[in-house]
Structure 1
Amino acid sequence: MALGDTNMTGSQTSLIPTPTDDALPRRLSDFETLGAALDYAAQGKRGLNFHDPRGNLARAYPYAELRADALACAYRLIAHGVQPQDRIALIAETGPEFAQMFFGIVYAGAWPVPLPLPTSFGGKESYIDQLIVQLSSSDPAMLFFPAELADMASEAARQRAVEPMAYDAFIAREAAPCALPPAASDDIAYLQYSSGSTRFPHGVAVTHKALLSNLSAHSHGMEVQDSDRCISWLPWYHDMGLVGCFLSPVANQVSADYMKTEDFARRPLAWLDLISRNEGTSISYSPTFGYDICARRMSSQTKAADRFDLSRWRLAGNGADMIRPDVMQSFVDAFADAGFSPTAFLPSYGLAEATLAVTIMPPGEGIVVELVEETDLSGGSAAEGRPQRFRAIVNCGKPAKDMIVQIRDEDGSPLRERQIGKVWTTGPSLMTGYFRDPQATAACLVDGWLDTGDMGYLSDGYLYIVGRAKDMIIINGKNHWPQDIEWAVEQLPGFKQGDIAAFAITTPGGEEAPAVLVHCRTSDNDERSRLRNEIRERVRAITGMNCVVELVPPRTLPRTSSGKLSRSKARNLYLSGEIRPYDIAA
């Protein structure tokens, strides 16, 4: 049975997914505008396919149907008074409604602004506050939302004087054809809110030209084949989900299969079921935590080969956070007998300010790791008599087509190979700037180059990322990466990635010290005291630092819209007293 086929009885008929192969000659994103890309894809038979929580096909959506629906949405928007360059916010639920509205806004000459869905933490008021902040920044004319989010979305819209509108109510309107405004490659295509772990999100303005250049880089870097399908659970409000797994399939005429992010969270192995049922070759991306949760789920089950066939998973992309080689190895160990090849791993590096991709590993090279002595990472020198300690740094690939990467010191001077510094990049994929934020734009865009805010080094043309410059903890003039402190705590029983946030604070004596907030799941005060001491000793043993350890309730640590830990927000909430640690006797 082909991917997504379902047999139904009664009044329902079999659902057939859009095909992998198509007679339409493939074009690799060589279009002037995003609308032109969909116009071309609609001439073929490929398209998007939406699956239910158990991975069964719920809706096949050929690009021809997407285009017809998008044009109807554009006519409705224009009739409603929407003008070119208006911002139109839309909550990015993975489904045909968002897809047609996104392209409808593009056809109407306005700018779609994808906004996040609610998360499992923070609650109703926190989500409304998040929407209010992003509506304040983007200043849209309208906010579209799924009907089930009407209460929260309408309240946020009310507070910002934005017109609220449910997807289904708008799509049900009549659509009288009218003239569409012409689009140019230098026009803004959309605003992307970068999740940014170390600063407040900004609206990234991306032109059609920048987007299509980056999508072309994807297809060339991944060496797209006729047998490929894209399979994804990534959210469409994050750049990797929106650009890499929604817009890229359209612009490169690839059929795609989706499950919702919340469905993946409940049943992560359903993602691998989708990949297993694909009779062609699969391209599927995930941050490190996605591979981690799948490997953990398999630990309590029988052989992976009894359920999965991952032998045709051609490219297992990894990006959006620090790539952890130990997690990747655990995934290989869990699924090797199901045919998964470690050479399928495709590390990459990117950020919304560069549309998405900056570097991509050449297919087939897999995870390549270099061991770097920690004093090289911190800019210090090894203490006499102290054994060397190394950290595994993952190769994130070579610059994507037409992109250039340079490593610079604090003064902006280029560094030699294998010297750690700030990662700068330039090329046609760069944003025009942050929407209505010239100060923030000027801080990171300098003479046509983007300061990514990340630290890394180049080796034989490959980029290695070692951490975020702004996350760095500096104690006694020595740099420490918070990831190292968090990793030290993760090695203790009962902790996992995302349970720990490390950052610098200033002590009453005026010294900088590392603070570690840790999710605690025990209510016993003696056990909490023992745990705090164990964590403190563990961090001292790994890093040599004395740290402040605070145990906090589960699900307290804040996340970005893409689910990553936000250390800067955790620090701010802790210092302001909004994160209240457990009161434990010393």
Structure 2
Amino acid sequence: MTRPDVASAAAADSGTLRPLPTLDTLPRRFSDFATMGEALDYAASGTRGFNFHDARGNLAHPYSYAALRSDALSCAYRLIAHGIKPQDRIALVAETGADFAQMFFGVIYAGAWPVPLPLPTSFGGKESYIDQLSVQLQSCDPKILFYPAELAEMAGAAAAANAVEGLTFEDFIARAAAPCALPQASTDDIAYLQYSSGSTRFPHGVAVTHKALLSNLAAHSHGMQVQESDRCISWLPWYHDMGLVGCFLSPVANQVTVDYLKTEDFARRPLAWLDLISRNEGTSISYSPTFGYDICARRMSSQMKASDRFDLSRWRLAGNGADMIRPDVMQSFVDAFADAGFSPSAFLPSYGLAEATLAVTIMPPGEGIMVELVEETDLSGGDAAEGRPQRYRAIVNCGKPVKDMIVEIREEDGTPLAEGQIGKVWTTGPSLMVGYFRDEAATQACMADGWLDTGDMGYMSGGYLYIVGRAKDMIIINGKNHWPQDIEWAVEQLPGFKQGDIAAFAITTPGGEEAPAVLVHCRTSDTEERAKLRNQIRDRVRAITGMNCVVELIPPRTLPRTSSGKLSRSKARTLYLEGEIVPYDIAA
């Protein structure tokens, strides 16, 4: 049998690249390894691997696990020759491609700790990106920062500003690699540091051991019932836990072939994601936050039948996580792509966070999206005003705890709550982080007696977890709790708005009163239209919540997002109060 990497090289010589296969004769092992290096050693003995695609979804680089292992060992030799020791931190700007992949595993083979850092986003600009890298470099204290050559100016500036050696992937990989003895890793050693998507101003490096990582990866395969015909398709960034753990490390540890689009290429041509899924002759596993499904549904023209371009009938698991799951968006996706064979039962809601490595709960495959309607006063913890009509919000079922993880709902004082009662979501199990790197106070603030306070609010029903919202985002006005999602969703129902256009949070007015502020992207330059729009928004929020709010219309693309693309309400509030977000003057 011809090895796939050799076959790919031969195909490249003839001008035709061949994707690495879905099926393999290698007996599958589901993450039952002591270390991630051992997992790659095993995957490299088979024929599967990564297929990197260009912006139009064309195959650009088939990269077998055998080739990845060979390149990663060479990187480890170079790192050791460069003076890198076990437990040193090595920061890596996480560009989706072979360079980052081999460097990440090379750092692991060398006994050091890889630290994936974000790429620049389309908002914020050069200085904002340098600042973001700087705070994370200060936190993880790395020996080296590696980055793609095209980011040399910005990443190099961040490295220099923090007295960190900066090198491009390309220059380092071009160096000679003399084989040497590699350190022996223990299953209890730290595998990597992960910065959660919201950790920009006050970063927390999540320290994850090989044991915790592989336990969670085994839970993935168990919860998703991975089968031989499965192939992963992903555009998720590798600096976010769902992309790094779920779509980069899990495929290696469970020997699954992956087709990748770069995140920025998905942003420009989102339907290329569905093209890749359509071309897969096996069964597809592919994850996205809600906004990914939303973008695809909106891109479908009413003049175009989805079945003319796509075949989504073999999309077995359409995972959804990393943000609040919107049932209305999911229904819009079904409406747009049902005639292309997409089945609603393919939806796989889940819940997780970097502090638990990734997965905490996963919906059993085939059950799709299930919702419960919860009355507003139950969500806020208040009492309904007499005579007020009842208002309900649809809360999405995020599945059952994954293998070996336990979930408990607790009061603020730690008292466990009964089924159906809303409280703080706590979890425990072998996938939990060791703690935040060099931040004992932050670790103790969220961990107690082997349990993790996730910071999220939810409830259990019939063994399933329902997530209500993020505790720190709660708006408390006159002693009553309000969820910002409810305010944002209310405004989104007005014509011309979409998810991500609105951010709601609490402020103190000049009169000393607490009030909700609503920042809204405005796309009209007509001052009369702006004034009319602001009144519509204010009336809409009052009708839904009974509160008067401060409405500020702001330029499009102003609201800040986390590295994974989620709206950052806390950062929006800070920027607004500091005067860095400047609203339109309606009277101008």
TM-score, normalising length: structure 2: 0.97
Q: Secondary structure at the match of 1:484?
A: helix
Which residue, out of 506, 511, 514, partners 1:512? 514
Residues 1:193 and 2:202 are matched in the alignment: no
Residues 1:550 and 2:552 are matched in the alignment: yes
Letter in 1 for 2:214: L
CA pair 180-122 structure 1, distance change in 2 beyond 3 A: same
CA pair 278-197 structure 1, distance change in 2 beyond 3 A: same
Deviation of the 1:299 alpha carbon: 3.3
Letter in 1 for 2:463: G
CA pair 175-335 structure 1, distance change in 2 beyond 3 A: same
Q: Which residue of 2 aligns with 1:382?
A: 384
Q: Which residue of 1 aligns with 2:298?
A: 296
**Separation in 2 of the partners of 1:330 and 1:268?**
16
Q: How does 1:488-503 map to 2 (within 5 A)?
A: 488-503=490-505
Q: How does 1:330-369 map to 2 (within 5 A)?
A: 330-369=332-371
Q: Which residue of 2 aligns with 1:585?
A: 587
Which residue, out of 309, 312, 315, partners 1:310? 312
Deviation of the 1:201 alpha carbon: 3.2
Structure 1 window deviating more from structure 2 (530-539 vs 408-417): it is 530-539
Which residue, out of 86, 89, 92, partners 1:87? 89
Q: How does 1:73-472 map to 2 (within 5 A)?
A: 73-196=75-198, 200-472=202-474
Q: Secondary structure at the match of 1:505?
A: strand
Conserved 8 A contact 2:409-2:459: yes
Q: Which residue of 1 aligns with 2:4?
A: none
Conserved 8 A contact 1:233-1:271: yes
CA pair 262-198 structure 1, distance change in 2 beyond 3 A: closer
Which residue, out of 524, 527, 530, partners 2:526? 524
Deviation of the 1:525 alpha carbon: 1.7
Conserved 8 A contact 1:299-1:334: no
Deviation of the 1:198 alpha carbon: 10
User: Which structure 2 residue ranges, 5 or more long, are not aligned?
Assistant: 1-6
Letter in 1 for 2:319: G
Conserved 8 A contact 1:198-1:568: no
Structure 1 window deviating more from structure 2 (157-166 vs 501-510): it is 501-510
Conserved 8 A contact 2:216-2:358: yes
Letter in 1 for 2:365: P
Letter in 1 for 2:490: A
Per-residue CA shift, 1:13-43, capped at 9, x if unaligned? 3211111111110000000000000000001
Conserved 8 A contact 2:11-2:17: no
Structure 1 window deviating more from structure 2 (300-309 vs 248-257): it is 300-309
Q: Which residue of 1 aligns with 2:39?
A: 37
Letter in 2 for 1:351: L
Per-residue CA shift, 1:455-497, capped at 9, x if unaligned? 0000010000000111000111111000010111111111111
Conserved 8 A contact 1:195-1:201: no
**Separation in 2 of the partners of 1:195 and 1:75?**
31
**Separation in 2 of the partners of 1:198 and 1:419?**
33
Q: Which residue of 2 aligns with 1:55?
A: 57
Conserved 8 A contact 1:433-1:441: yes
User: Which structure 1 residue ranges, 5 or more long, are not aligned?
Assistant: none
Conserved 8 A contact 2:135-2:201: no
Per-residue CA shift, 1:217-275, capped at 9, x if unaligned? 00000000000000000000000000000000000000011010011011100000000
Q: Which residue of 1 aligns with 2:562?
A: 560
**Separation in 2 of the partners of 1:343 and 1:91?**
36
Conserved 8 A contact 1:269-1:294: yes
Letter in 2 for 1:464: Y
Deviation of the 1:511 alpha carbon: 2.1
Q: Secondary structure at the match of 2:452?
A: strand
RMSD: 1.6
CA pair 345-199 structure 1, distance change in 2 beyond 3 A: farther
Residues 1:64 and 2:84 are matched in the alignment: no
CA pair 322-154 structure 1, distance change in 2 beyond 3 A: same
Give the length in aligned residue pairs.
582
Per-residue CA shift, 1:108-167, capped at 9, x if unaligned? 000000001111111111111111111111111101111100000100000001111111
**Separation in 1 of the partners of 2:301 and 2:454?**
37
Deviation of the 1:199 alpha carbon: 7.8
Q: Percent identity?
A: 84
Which residue, out of 537, 540, 543, partners 1:541? 543
**Separation in 2 of the partners of 1:162 and 1:398?**
43
Per-residue CA shift, 1:425-479, capped at 9, x if unaligned? 0000000111111111110011110000000000010000000111000111111
**Separation in 1 of the partners of 2:396 and 2:281?**
31
Q: Which residue of 2 aligns with 1:24?
A: 26
**Separation in 1 of the partners of 2:114 and 2:498?**
36
CA pair 527-197 structure 1, distance change in 2 beyond 3 A: farther
Q: Secondary structure at the match of 1:333?
A: helix
Deviation of the 1:213 alpha carbon: 0.4
Deviation of the 1:200 alpha carbon: 3.5
Conserved 8 A contact 2:426-2:453: yes
Conserved 8 A contact 1:558-1:570: yes
Deviation of the 1:539 alpha carbon: 0.6
Q: Secondary structure at the match of 1:402?
A: coil
Letter in 2 for 1:478: K
Deviation of the 1:301 alpha carbon: 4.2
Q: Secondary structure at the match of 2:216?
A: helix
CA pair 541-48 structure 1, distance change in 2 beyond 3 A: same
Conserved 8 A contact 1:195-1:238: yes
Q: Secondary structure at the match of 1:284?
A: strand
CA pair 453-315 structure 1, distance change in 2 beyond 3 A: same
Q: Secondary structure at the match of 1:15?
A: coil
Conserved 8 A contact 2:319-2:350: yes
TM-score, normalising length: structure 1: 0.97
**Separation in 2 of the partners of 1:468 and 1:11?**
53
Deviation of the 1:197 alpha carbon: 7.7
Per-residue CA shift, 1:497-518, capped at 9, x if unaligned? 1111100011233321100111
Q: Secondary structure at the match of 2:79?
A: helix
Letter in 2 for 1:404: I
CA pair 198-571 structure 1, distance change in 2 beyond 3 A: farther
Per-residue CA shift, 1:499-555, capped at 9, x if unaligned? 111000112333211001111122222221111111111110111110001111111
**Separation in 1 of the partners of 2:485 and 2:392?**
14
**Separation in 1 of the partners of 2:167 and 2:552?**
43
